[in-house]
Amino acid sequence: MTNMVPDDRHDAAADETIRACLDLTAPQSFFLYAGAGSGKTRSLVGAIAELLERQGRRLSLTSQKIAVITYTNAATDEIRQRLAFDPRVEVSTIHAFAWSLIRGYDQDIREWVRAELGERIGALEDQIRKGRAGTDTARRRERDLERRRARLAGLGVIERFIYSPTGDNRTRDALNHAEVIAMTSAFLTERAGLRRQVVCRYPVLLVDESQDTAARLMDGLLTLQRHHPREISLGLFGDTMQRIYMDGKPDLADAIPEDWQRPRKAMNHRCPARIVRLVNAVRADDDGQVQVARSDAATGHVRVFLVPPNGADASSTEDAIRVRMAEVTGDRNWQADGRAVKTLALEHLMSARRLGFASLFEPLNRINASRTSLLNGTDPSLRFFTGDVLPLVRALRDGDRFAVAACVRRHSPLLAHERLVTAGDQQRDILSEAKAACDGLGALVSGATSPSLRAVLHHVAATNLLTIPDALQPFADAEAAEPDEWGEALDASLAEVEAYDDYIRGLSRFDTHQGVKGLEFPRVMVVLSDDEARGFLFSYDKFFGVTAKTAADLKKEAEGSETGIDRTRRLFYVVCSRARKSLAIVYYTTDCEAARRMLIERAWFEAEEIETWPPKS
């Protein structure tokens, strides 16, 4: 026992390697493997603090900074706080960092946007020419073509491009999120001058959640390091098994140069021993990385509930399973309050059905180009409803005149500064116009049933109460009848937008696998259902071996391409590894016996950990 390494020193070698790499006189790049609960953020903050202590004066004298790129605003705030807001460390999200590199290069931006628009316009014209006229797809392409042509025609009058990493970027001179990432990636890859500026400004560049950093931008950063290997320490923190966004770099580990350091953190400080054993088994068929539990970790509880999809009410079934988990674990919080249990679904459509916003989510989820922004809540058209309409509606419902006035001043073209200045003595009439528009919206949302988004949009358009995004303009006319995905989604109610907004912000008892990455919860329920999710990206029956792989699956495996089974494994790993005490897996399957047999055969679960639900009397 005297030779045992203390838990908190178990991964000391990895931390020492990182600190050695962060040397301004001899910088070295590295890729840190940090599995679930391994203390990745602690390692990142500790290495920076130690560097500041050793060489912080040099940073101050040269006006250089340590750059830290994170994935979310919450992670940015956490790291800043842990470093006591040290001005020598610049912590930002990936979008904010990208914009900081290209902001102000307006002529270069103009030429890039012009080339991109020209290429996309040509592709759309070709698709329209070859496609069938009169279809939903054709109409959507024609609207897209019209918008892009209008934007191309207006590029010449834009003096300065703008962008907000947290905003909707709706104005004509604004760039969108995807453009900023793509442009920064291209400039880093193609322009030696920008690469030189970056290494002069940031001798240390650390990327958190590197597995989910957009592939194009990651390629640009790797190009930067390849051209300046002795001038910058590029540090990538992450775990390829926790890649959950489709635009992350799938082969990141293989793309790391041979001369980089590859430290590894093996201890899981979060999960009890039983759950550590489970997540090790889940990834055994992938990269084989193994974690160890803390020596003082509790045993923990895992249960799988096999439920035939017989049409029974899913919410009632899951409530009953929570009662059973309280019996299994001796933890009354499993049944005391639904919000004491974090329920996670691998497919968002399943959550949408449970929380009542499926008719909004389902059609929009079919639009491949905007699926990521739909899932993380940044889609500009949805942000119009969640960020502009909802706050105003809530203020009207509460009778909060000050909040109503703040919303209108912030978002309404009726009270635009230029309009008020021009109005002169007629400003009272403008204020009356704005009040009437708000009163009309208040009357619309005060009925017994929630109005449709189409009705809200028509009122806003008729009164000019709020600025409508370009993508929604074709639907603003009360006579318009567009049958495509957005036309279908606008028939959803405003109440569905409220439920969607709560879900995306993590305020509902269901949560997204994106939203909980990096977080932990005492009690976790994971809900799996191929039938209910209707997803083509994931397959639980194939993942567990209940149904056989298709010829397409086998072909992708032979080619080394990603399959639905690979995606399902990663997301299952992420959600199971959130549990700090106990884990319930509710698996809706048409073949409970085959599922039980395969789960035991794979040695993921013991026989007594698998229950068929409802239990036989």
DSSP for 279-331? HHHHHHTTT----EE-TT----EEEEEEE--SS--HHHHHHHHHHHHHHHH--
Say which CATH number the domain at 559 has.
3.40.50
Higher-confidence residue of 108 and 482: namely: 108
Per the domain annotation, does 355 fall within a domain?
no
The closest of 540, 5, 504 to 282, measured between CA atoms, is 540
Same domain, 518 and 491: no
Q: Are 234 and 265 in contact (CB under 8 A)?
A: no
Half-sphere exposure of 31 (CA within 13 A, CB side): 19
**Region 297-325: what's the mean pLDDT?**
90
Q: What are phi and psi of 524, to 5 degrees?
A: -125, 130
Q: Is residue 426 very low, low, confident or very high in pLDDT (cuts 50, 70, 90)?
A: confident
**Region 400-423: what's the mean pLDDT?**
88
| Residue 438 neighbours by CB under 8 Å, 6+ apart | 392, 396, 404, 408, 465
Q: Are 175 and 163 in contact (CB under 8 A)?
A: yes
What is the structure's pLDDT at 470?
Answer: 79
Q: Is residue 14 very low, low, confident or very high in pLDDT (cuts 50, 70, 90)?
A: very high
Q: Which of 337-351, 455-469, 554-568 has the lowest mean pLDDT?
A: 337-351
Tell how far CA 388 is from the center of its chain: 21
How many folded domains does the chain comprise? 4
pLDDT at 614 over 70: yes
Same domain, 97 and 211: yes
What is the structure's pLDDT at 386?
Answer: 94
Same domain, 375 and 460: yes
Element holding 133 (H helix, E strand): none
Per the domain annotation, does 179 fall within a domain?
no
Distance between CA 144 and CA 153 in Å, rounded? 14
What is the structure's pLDDT at 564?
Answer: 85
Residues 6-44 as b/e (b if ≥16 CB within 10 A, e otherwise) read eeeebbeebbebbbebbebeebbbbbbbbbbbbbbbbbb
Tell how far CA 181 is from the center of its chain: 15
Which long-range contacts (C-beta less than 8 Å, at least 24 apart) are formed by 44-49? 44/68, 44/79, 44/206, 44/208, 44/237, 45/79, 45/82, 45/83, 46/15, 46/19, 47/15, 47/18, 47/19, 47/22, 47/235, 48/22, 48/83, 48/89, 48/206, 49/83
For all residues of the chain together, what is the average pLDDT? Answer: 89
Q: Is residue 553 very low, low, confident or very high in pLDDT (cuts 50, 70, 90)?
A: confident
Domain boundary among 239, 267, 295: 267
Per the domain annotation, does 521 fall within a domain?
yes
Element holding 110 (H helix, E strand): helix 106-130
Same domain, 35 and 110: no
Per the domain annotation, does 128 fall within a domain?
yes
Per the domain annotation, does 172 fall within a domain?
no
Distance between CA 482 and CA 475 in Å, rounded? 7
Structure tokens at 309: 């999809």
Question: pTM for this structure?
Answer: 0.85
Same domain, 463 and 328: no
Same domain, 113 and 193: no
Q: Is residue 417 very low, low, confident or very high in pLDDT (cuts 50, 70, 90)?
A: confident
Same domain, 95 and 112: no
Half-sphere exposure of 20 (CA within 13 A, CB side): 11
Q: Are 221 and 250 in contact (CB under 8 A)?
A: no
Same domain, 394 and 487: yes
Per the domain annotation, does 299 fall within a domain?
yes
Half-sphere exposure of 249 (CA within 13 A, CB side): 22
Same domain, 422 and 379: yes
Say which CATH number the domain at 93 has.
3.40.50.300
Name the DSSP class of 211.
G
Which long-range contacts (C-beta less than 8 Å, at least 24 apart) are formed by 143-149? 143/474, 145/121, 147/470, 147/471, 148/117, 148/120, 148/121, 148/124, 149/121
Q: Are 268 and 28 in contact (CB under 8 A)?
A: no
Strand order in the sheet with 510-511: 510-511, 342-345, 521-529, 579-588, 301-307, 610-612
pLDDT in tens, 509-546: 777 655 566 678 999 999 998 877 665 567 888 999 88
Which long-range contacts (C-beta less than 8 Å, at least 24 apart) are formed by 555-564? 562/250, 564/536, 564/537, 564/538, 564/539
Q: Which of 250-264, 336-350, 383-397, 590-604 has the lowest mean pLDDT?
A: 336-350
**Region 204-223: what's the mean pLDDT?**
93
Q: Show the DSSP H helices in 156-231 as ranges.
A: 177-190, 192-201, 215-227
Same domain, 445 and 376: yes
Distance between CA 463 and CA 204 in Å, rounded? 52
Same domain, 558 and 463: no
Give 10-21 as a 3 state SS string. Answer: CCHHHHHHHHHH
**Region 203-223: what's the mean pLDDT?**
93
pLDDT at 437 over 70: yes
Q: Is residue 1 very low, low, confident or very high in pLDDT (cuts 50, 70, 90)?
A: very low
Percent of the chain at pLDDT > 90 equals 60
Percent of the chain at pLDDT > 70 equals 95
Per the domain annotation, does 175 fall within a domain?
no
What is the structure's pLDDT at 80?
Answer: 96
In angstroms and rounded to an integer, the radius of gyration of the C-alpha atoms of the chain is: 26
What is the structure's pLDDT at 32?
Answer: 95
The closest of 10, 12, 77, 78 to 50, measured between CA atoms, is 12
Residue the block writes with tokens 């500041």: 52
Same domain, 426 and 491: yes
Q: Is residue 556 very low, low, confident or very high in pLDDT (cuts 50, 70, 90)?
A: confident
Distance between CA 601 and CA 270 in Å, rounded? 27
Per the domain annotation, does 359 fall within a domain?
no
Q: Residue 399 sits in which domain range?
A: 368-503
Write the single-letter amino acid at 246: M
What is the structure's pLDDT at 176?
Answer: 87
Domain boundary among 220, 248, 267: 267
Structure tokens at 117: 């628009």
**Region 414-428: what's the mean pLDDT?**
84
pLDDT at 311 over 70: no
Tell how far CA 304 is from the center of its chain: 27
Domain boundary among 222, 245, 267: 267
What is the structure's pLDDT at 112?
Answer: 97
pLDDT at 164 over 90: no
Q: What are phi and psi of 457, to 5 degrees?
A: -60, -45
